[in-house]
Structure formats: structure tokens, C-alpha cells
Chain A
Amino acid sequence: MGYSWSELEDIFQNALQMPASERVNYVEIHAKDDERLKQTVLMMLRDAENADQYFDKLQEGIADGFEEKKEDIYQPGDIVDKYKIINALGRGGMGQVYLAERNDQQFEQKVAIKCFSPEEVKQNFFENFRNEKQFLATLNHAAIAHILDGGVTDDGIHYIIMEYANGLPIDEYLEKHHLSVQEKLQLFLKISDAINYAHNRLILHLDIKPSNILVNEEGQVKLLDFGIAQKMGEPLKQKYIIASPFYAAPEQLKQKPVSVATDIFQLGILLHLILSNKFPFDKEKFPNDSKREFGLEQNLINKEFLSIIKKCLNESPEERYVSVSALAQDVENFLRSRPVNVHSQNWSYFAGKFIERNKIKILLSILLIISMGVGIIFSSYQANKARENELKAIKTNEFLLDIFKNADPNITEGNLTVKEILDNSVNSIESKFEDKEFKLSLYDRLINIYTNVYLWNDSRELAEDVLNRYQNIDNYSKLKIMSTLGGNYRELSEYQKADSIFSILMQRIDRDVKELPLDFKIENILAFAKSQQIQGNYDTALQIIDRANDLINNKTLEKDRADIYNHYASVYKALSKYDSASYYQTKAINILKLNKSPEHQNALAIYYNNQGNLYRDMAQYDSAIASFEQSISLKRKIDSKANLDVAITLSNLGGTYYKKKNYDSASIILNRAIEIFSTQLKPDNNFIVSTRYSLANIYYNQLKFEKALSEYKEILNADTTNFGIDHPYVADDYISISNCYRELEETDKAYEYLKKAESIIEEKFDESHQKTSYLYNKFGILFEKQENYTMAQMYFQESYNLANKYLGEDHRYTQEYKKDVERISNIMKGDLNKM
């Protein structure tokens, strides 16, 4: 058996400590007469360094063995779709990429075709390949390689046809051209601009790395593989994605959900690479060390830039930049030699960060401010002084209100949720203070905070309780609580309660014309109008808005004036008076367009959204999409999180794609909207219901009538509960249900539901409303189906006459109805001829 391991170890270790010249001698003495041991140790001493290399090489050999040896899917000359393969390009991550040209010689166009074998497809869960392809095709940016088409061949190969981008990967480009720091940063800004553009459309890249960024000789940038990672590898939810580990964000490595912040992390690595040509960590050690130790290039990169990169590379996504535009802003500031704002971010960033870390402190500071104010009131008894201090306290609390705006009420801090902190504050108000008016002003703020963190029910309960307990007090604080409560009732779809609150407020506004602030008055008048409008009382709504309009004078704030116009536009739109609606909507937008304050930008985003809806109703779909995108872009600038506001506009955008008959894009966008809504709202909330309505319409148009029918029925239930049995929405539901029954050949039921719709429409609208002509047209179609051509002709004719009279001859509905009239006449002529 020979030498023992411990013998060997001892001699080897000891010899290694000695100068090289003495080693042989030492081994010969200690190995005694064991020749094998002697030879072995001597060999080990000689080759110690080669041993390391041997193991490294073996590791490499193993790694090669794991590499997939891909077989080419296509050969030069093969035809895919309308294109002929020229040669393999072999770049990018998944799939194989080929250069191809048009096969039909119609015009010269080179494209890149990315192909996936059936096995790859199976492994990568491309279930909705067609949908995804269309969704990605909505990216239309000069720096993003455009997706032209795509499909599946007969033998199961999935392909995406992309614009062919000529150029070098950015790392090679930088090696070849020696750019100044300024020029490098310009290049980076081009990249981040494209990524920001995609983010505004809720598409993430998730695989930002040099090989995906091409730069051509003119310095133009093209990003490849946009959104493929996210879209193909099962997006959004928990399903994990492994990116190239060197570029992967910590959440990707930990298989946690990805977000905008993931792309920002990768941009941080890219920025470091661009500036220093090095990774910001030791590539050798990673990913062997599960944690990446960042060591930035202090010597090669400017100090200010290091802080920008560091911010991108934060372990926790929340600590990174909120948006790519915030990152780009800092880079631009640097270029223009302005101070970089790494530490003083935009408002929502600051608020978000502050709230995350300081929830308990915020609570304490609220209480501190409260007690300071109270202390002054009771010690000095100086009423004026007290009021002044209260004003100060209000100002400070406005600040706190804003902080709470973006907080998630369920996040815990020291075992307390924000909700619990707020609940505790309520208790301390009651126990600590005596002065009722003062308490009321504190409650007012707390109720507002509850609303701002979407705790509508808690806000409502507290408001009801407070109003009940302080019936004998009558001051401005109490009116503000009522106003908040009215708004909450409306959000919670309790319109009767909302109306009764607003009626009381209206009386007070009329009575105390002089005392109440103008913006409070306008705000509440408009809230009342909105409530009426939602309930379908359009004339009343207009009259109420007129009252707000009458209050306009030279002291009226811009935002209040814009708001009044916005409300006019909304009601006129509901009345199908598009010219007036369009006039007012544009007016509202123009007032706010130039004002950059966050509050105004917020309102502006909403107005763009409304303008989109208006254009959609006017069948100007491309303008509508542009307005919606404008709105989403603004909203995401204000707050990068996917929140309700964004979801609302997404829902509308999806509806527009539906109208454009682009059902695939529509259903993806709508499902996303529902997903966001569902995290914050009850299932029968009107936002969710109306988005589901659009989805049901898609099913209907895809001829999935049974699925559509069951959806419409659930929507009908929700609408009936939310709006009452005779609301126009309910009439729409009846018509949709009728359509399904008609297509399912259950014409009796179809007729029954049309009759139900008719009774509502006759009661709510006169014959001038488009719903009347629309309904008659549906009767016509149903009778035609039943081959009752005489009745069908009657209804078609009536429908056409009304549309012609009220919508005008050129309106698309009128044109449609006209075709129906012509068709039925021909059928009847044919019948006559047969007789």
C-alpha cells in the first residue's frame, strides 16, 4: 500500500516552506527509503503550479461539454415566409439568427430572422407566441430593432422577422473608436432613451448587454432582443429567468420578480463597462461567490459617476433609480456640468424611500407636530397666534400627506403596518387632545391619509364616525371631511350616499359664498357633477358644472379652470356631442401643458387619457393611442410603479386596440390592466368590470360566444349592483348578451334581452341619441337572423333614418346601417323574384 497520506502531507508541506535549493535534500532525508514517496513528493513540488492549471483546464473542458452543439435550423437559400436566408448571423442569446432578404424581388430589404426550434419553443414556454410578437411590434423607436413580422412554419419552427441592424456590439465599437467621455455618455443616453420608451409601454428588456447593443458607423444605436426575455420566458409573475449571470440583477439571480429596476441595474453595469471597459466586480470570482462584491474603477471613472453607477447597482431594487429617465437626468446633468441629484431625487422617489425607512418616525413626527400645535394653543390663549401655528401645522401635514401617497398600507415596519400606525394615530388624537375643533382638523388630515393609501373603507369608517360624534360642530375641517367622504362613497360606488353628502355641501357653498376658499368650492361642485354624470344624469351634471363655471374669476387657479373644462368635456362626450367635448378637452390640456409642477402634470396625464377616450369614441384610433401613450408616459414619470392610474389608461389603450380589431394586443394590455387593478380593488369595482367588458367584447369578436356570454352575465350582475337596474351601462350589457344569444341561435332569449335594453334606452335617451339607432339596428339583425325580413327591413330603415338625421350621413355608423338597409332590400327582392 505504500506511504500514508499524513506522511506525504507532512513532507510536502514542510518542503514547500523551504527555499527551493534545500527541498530535494529534505525530501530525501524524510522519505527515507520509500522511493515512491520520494518521487511523488518531488514531482508534486516541481509541478505545484501546473496542478492549478490542470484543474482549470478540466473545468473548462467540462463547461464545453455542457455547451449545446446547435444544429443549424436553416441553410443559405432556404425560404422562410417571404424571405430567403443569406447566411447565419449567430449573435444574440436564444435561438438562431439569420440574415435574409426578400424573396419576391418586390423591393430590396434585408432582415434578420430569429428562429427557434420546436424543442427550444417547448423549453421556453412560448405559449402565446403570436400575441407576444404583436405586442413587441408596438415598439416603434429608432434605437430599437423593429419587429416586422413573425409566425410558425409547418414544421413547428417559430420565427420573428426583425429589422436588420448593421453595426458592431457596443464593446467592440468602443474598442475600435476612441470616444471621449462626453461621447460615450451621449451613446449611453441614446440607449437609455430607447429603454425608457419601452418601459413606458410596460416592456422590460432584462438582458441588456453589449452583444445586444449594436452601434453603426454613424454612431446610431440599435437595441436587439427587446422584451423577448420578458415576454417569452413567462413574464411578470414569479416564474424565474436566468440572465447572463454577469449582467443579471440580484433579483434575477434570486429568481425574484423583475421590474424596471432590473433594467436599471443592468444599465449600471453597462455604464461601468462603457466608461472603463471593465466589469464593476471581479469576473473571476463571480458567480462562484454567490454574492457579487462590487469594486468600481475609482481611477478610470469620475467620482460623480461612481455614485450614479452605485445607485444603479444597489442590491435592493427599491434603492435604485425609480426610472430610467431619472437615471438619464443625472447623466445629462453631469454632461451639462450641473450637480448630480443622486441623493435628492424626484418627489415620489424621496417620499417612497422616506416612507420605507421612517414609518415609525413619521408617526412620531405627526404626533410631535400635533402636540406642539396644541401646546401653543393652550399655553398662550392667543387665538391669532394659534391659527397661524395651525396653518403651519397644516403645511407640514400636507408634506406628510404627500409622503403617504405612495405607501403600501400592508408593508410592515417594526411589526406595524402603515394601517396600524394610522389606526394608532386615531386613538392618540382622541385620548390626547381636548379641543374639538382642533381634533376635527387632525381627523381631517388622517382621513385624507387613509384615502391616499387607498384604504377607502377605513377612511370612510373614520369619517362617518367622526361626523357622527361631532354633529354640533360646524367648521371648515368638518366640510373637508364631508368632501372626502363624498368622494369615497363615489369610489365605493355608493352613489346615493355620495349625492346626499354633496347636496349638503352644495347648500353650504351657496350659503357661505364668501367664507369658503374658491378651490374648495369648485372642487366639490365638480365632484357632485361627476357623481350625477356617472349615474347618467347628464343634464343635471351640466347644470352643476355651469355653477362652477360661474365662479371663475381672475383669481381662479389654472388647475381649477382646467378641471372645469375637463368636466364639461366628459359630459359632452357621454352625450356624444364630440365637437364640444373635443373643444373643452383641448382647452383643459392647453392650460396645463406648460406647467411642470407634479400636481399639474398629474392632472395633465388624466386629461390626455380622457382625450384618448374621446378620440376613440370618434373612431380616430391612432390619435387615441397617441394620447393614451402620452398619458402613460407622464404618469410613469411621476411614479414609476404600476399603479391604478396607469392601469386605467392601459385599460383604455387596450380598448382602443380592440376597436382597431387588433385583438391580440388588446387582450394582453387588458389582462395587464386587470392584474394591476386586482392588487388594489374589489373584484366588482367598476374599473375591473369595465376592463372585463372589453375583454368579453374580444371573445365575442373572436366568435367565442359562450365564453363572452358568461362574462357579460357576470358583468351585468356587477353593473346592476353598482349602478342600479336602469342605468345605461346595464342596457349595454343587455344588448351584448342578446348578441351572444343570437349567435348561439337562441333567438327568443336574444329578443327578450333586446326588449330589456329597449325599456332602459327609451326611458333614458330620446331618439337623437346614438344608442337608439344602435338598438334598432340590433333588432334588425335579430329579425334578419330569424328570416323575418319585413320586420328586419323596418328596423334597419328606422335605424338608418335616425343615424342619418342625428349623426350625419358620413358617420361610420350611418354608413354601416345603410349597408344593412341595402342588403335586406336585396334579400327581399330575391325572395320576390323567386315567388
Chain B
Amino acid sequence: MVNQGEITQLLVKVNNGDINAYNKIFPIIYSELRHIAHRIRFQYFGIETLNTTAIVHEAYLKIINSEADWNSRAHFYGVAGKAMRHILLNAARRKNAIKRGRDAQHLCFEEWEEKINLSDECSDELLRLDEVLNELERKDSKQVKIVECRFFANMTIEETAAVLDISPSTVKRNWQVIKAWIYSQIQARKTA
């Protein structure tokens, strides 16, 4: 297990674009998110709305701890957003495979991803969203990061700004454009 100091350092490196650091920390956060989302459902105090926020926050407390400085919090959330995106995408793919009568076992999902019980509608939307995000990635990969922070990790404008090292007003403006664009692309795909 990597200790907390190392994780904080890795997060700083990730933030500076170090792909090796990213490859090292991603699985840690990914597996913690999966673990927590699984466990949290059995927690006595049913969180009334169990959403990505709660899970990411919980993972953050577990891996980093609440006393860590604000910056590493933001960096953590940045990576967690991407991890959460992966988790949800896998869950949606699995659901989709079942719906189409394909053998979901064959696709080798993690135990926990099998337990996310997305509705057909929601998994379709998530798959569509992923296609659109891949297209966005090709146009401007920086914009995808904003989505991961704002949507998948539920970060505030300020936190997102800190992770991406841009001003909050830029985040706000971009996010508005991105949302409208994604929606238009999704609508276009639906009608196509």
C-alpha cells in the first residue's frame, strides 16, 4: 500500500502531467471508489441520495484524509472524476451487454460493477455520453477534464479551476458551453 505522503506527491505529479504517476495512482483510487461504493450501500445510515459525490468524498477521506491541504484535495478529485467515469461506463456496458443477450461474464467486469443497477435508460445515456466525450476528447481534451471534474467528481467551480490551473470564471464559461454542446450532440444522435 502506498502511504499518504506518496499519494499526495503522486497527485502533484499527475497534476503536472506525469503520465507514470497517473498510471500509478489511478488504480488505487479506482479500486477504492469501487470498494467504497460497494460498502456504502450496506452502511447502516442509508445516505438518502447515494451519488457520486458521496462516494468520491468517502474515498477521499479514506485515501487522503480530511486534514490534507486544499490543493491535494482538488488533485485527488481530478483523478477520481476519471475513475468514476470508468466505473460508470463499465456498469453501463455490462447492462447493455445483458440487454442485448450477450454474455456479460465474458466481458469480465469487476464484482462491484455488476452491482450498480443502472436503468436501461440511464445506461444508454451513459454510453452515448461516453461517445460524445470521446469526440470532445479529439476536439479539445482539456474540456473533457472539466466534465470529469464537474460531472463525475461533482467538484465545485473553484476546485475544478484549481485542478486544471485555470481561472474559475473560465471554468464557469467553458462548462456552460460544454453542457450545451454535449446536449446538442446527444440530441443529434438520438434523432439520427
A525-566 at interface with B (beta carbon < 8 Å): none
B183 contacts the other chain (CB 8 A): yes
Q: Is the CB of A119 within 8 A of B181?
A: no
Q: Is the CB of B51 within 8 A of A59?
A: yes
Q: Is the CB of B47 within 8 A of A44?
A: no
- Rounded to whole Å, the gap between the CB of B61 and the closest CB of chain A is 6
B contacts, CB < 8 Å to A = 37, 39-55, 57-58, 61, 66, 88, 91, 116-119, 121-122, 125-126, 129, 138-140, 143, 151, 154, 156, 173-174, 176-177, 179-188
A390-428 at interface with B (beta carbon < 8 Å): none
Give the residue name and chain of the A residue nearest to B173 (CB). A13
- Known contacts A9-B174, A62-B51; A232 and B44 CB within 8 A of each other: yes
- A511 contact set on B, CB distance < 8 A: none
Nearest first, the 3 closest Cβ-Cβ pairs linking A and B are: A61-B122, A123-B42, A94-B44
Q: How far is the CA of A47 from the CA of B54 in the complex (A)?
A: 30
5 A-B residue contacts at CB 8 Å? A47-B183, A51-B183, A54-B179, A255-B61, A287-B54
Q: How far is the CA of A803 from the CA of B4 in the complex (A)?
A: 68
- A93 contact set on B, CB distance < 8 A: 44-46
From A170-178, A240-248, A647-655, the one touching the partner chain is A240-248
Q: Which of A4, A40, A55, A229 contacts B184 (CB 8 A)?
A: A40
Q: Is the CB of A50 within 8 A of B183?
A: yes
- Known contacts A58-B125, A66-B50; A244 and B45 CB within 8 A of each other: yes
Q: How far is the CA of A94 from the CA of B42 in the complex (A)?
A: 8
- Known contacts A44-B184, A232-B44, A245-B47; A66 and B37 CB within 8 A of each other: yes
- Rounded to whole Å, the gap between the CB of B119 and the closest CB of chain A is 6
What 1/0 flags go to A28-55 for Cβ under 8 Å of B?
0000000000001001110110111011
- A68 contact set on B, CB distance < 8 A: 41-42
- Known contacts A68-B41, A290-B57; A47 and B187 CB within 8 A of each other: yes
A63 contacts the other chain (CB 8 A): yes
What 1/0 flags go to A779-806 for Cβ under 8 Å of B?
0000000000000000000000000000
Q: Which of B53, B122, B173 contacts A65 (CB 8 A)?
A: B122
Q: How far is the CA of A703 from the CA of B41 in the complex (A)?
A: 40
- Rounded to whole Å, the gap between the CB of B79 and the closest CB of chain A is 18
Q: Is the CB of A43 within 8 A of B43?
A: no
List 14 additional contacts besides A5-B139, A43-B187; criterion CB under 8 Å. Answer: A40-B188, A44-B177, A44-B184, A45-B180, A62-B51, A62-B52, A66-B116, A229-B44, A242-B43, A245-B48, A245-B54, A246-B48, A254-B66, A289-B156
What 1/0 flags go to A231-244 for Cβ under 8 Å of B?
01100000001111
- Rounded to whole Å, the gap between the CB of B64 and the closest CB of chain A is 13
Q: Is the CB of A65 within 8 A of B184?
A: no
Q: Is the CB of B53 within 8 A of A47?
A: no
- Known contacts A93-B45, A242-B47; A55 and B180 CB within 8 A of each other: no
A120 contacts the other chain (CB 8 A): yes
Q: Which of A64, A65, A233, A290 contacts B44 (CB 8 A)?
A: A233
Q: How far is the CA of A791 from the CA of B156 in the complex (A)?
A: 85
Q: Is the interface of A mostly helix, strand, loop or mixed?
A: helix
A contacts, CB < 8 Å to B = 1, 4-6, 8-9, 12-13, 40, 43-45, 47-48, 50-52, 54-55, 58-59, 61-69, 93-94, 119-120, 123-124, 207, 228-229, 232-233, 241-246, 248, 254-255, 287-290
Max count, chain A CB within 10 A of own CB: residue among B51, B91, B187: B51
Q: How far is the CA of A287 from the CA of B119 in the complex (A)?
A: 25
- A69 contact set on B, CB distance < 8 A: 117
Q: How far is the CA of A44 from the CA of B129 in the complex (A)?
A: 16
Count A-B pairs with CB separation below 8 Å.
143
- A246 contact set on B, CB distance < 8 A: 48
- Known contacts A4-B139, A44-B181, A66-B116; A61 and B121 CB within 8 A of each other: yes
- Known contacts A43-B188, A58-B122, A65-B117; A8 and B181 CB within 8 A of each other: yes
- B187 contact set on A, CB distance < 8 A: 43, 47
Q: Is the CB of A58 within 8 A of B129?
A: yes
Q: Is the CB of B122 within 8 A of A62?
A: yes
- A9 contact set on B, CB distance < 8 A: 174, 177
- Rounded to whole Å, the gap between the CB of B83 and the closest CB of chain A is 14
Give the residue name and chain of the B residue nearest to A10 (CB). B177
Give the residue name and chain of the A residue nearest to B179 (CB). A51
- A5 contact set on B, CB distance < 8 A: 139-140, 143
- Rounded to whole Å, the gap between the CB of A548 and the closest CB of chain B is 55
Q: Which of B47, B57, B116 contacts A244 (CB 8 A)?
A: B47
- Rounded to whole Å, the gap between the CB of A689 and the closest CB of chain B is 37
Q: How far is the CA of A289 from the CA of B50 in the complex (A)?
A: 15
Q: Is the CB of B181 within 8 A of A242?
A: no
- A254 contact set on B, CB distance < 8 A: 66
- Known contacts A8-B181, A47-B183; A66 and B55 CB within 8 A of each other: yes
Q: Which of B47, B52, B58, B66 contacts A59 (CB 8 A)?
A: B52
Q: Is the CB of A61 within 8 A of B119?
A: yes
Give the residue name and chain of the B residue nearest to A243 (CB). B45
Give the residue name and chain of the A residue nearest to B180 (CB). A44
Max count, chain B CB within 10 A of own CB: residue among A58, A119, A243, A244: A58
Q: How far is the CA of A242 from the CA of B183 in the complex (A)?
A: 35
Q: Is the CB of A124 within 8 A of B42?
A: yes
Q: How far is the CA of A50 from the CA of B183 in the complex (A)?
A: 8
Q: Is the CB of B46 within 8 A of A94?
A: yes
- B121 contact set on A, CB distance < 8 A: 61
- Rounded to whole Å, the gap between the CB of B134 and the closest CB of chain A is 14
Q: Is the CB of B181 within 8 A of A65?
A: no
- B41 contact set on A, CB distance < 8 A: 66-68
Q: Is the CB of A8 within 8 A of B177?
A: yes
- Rounded to whole Å, the gap between the CB of B121 and the closest CB of chain A is 7
Max count, chain A CB within 10 A of own CB: residue among B45, B46, B177: B45
- Known contacts A67-B50, A67-B117; A47 and B44 CB within 8 A of each other: no
- Known contacts A44-B184, A66-B41; A13 and B117 CB within 8 A of each other: no
Q: Is the CB of A62 within 8 A of B174?
A: no
- B88 contact set on A, CB distance < 8 A: 62
Q: Is the CB of B183 within 8 A of A44?
A: yes
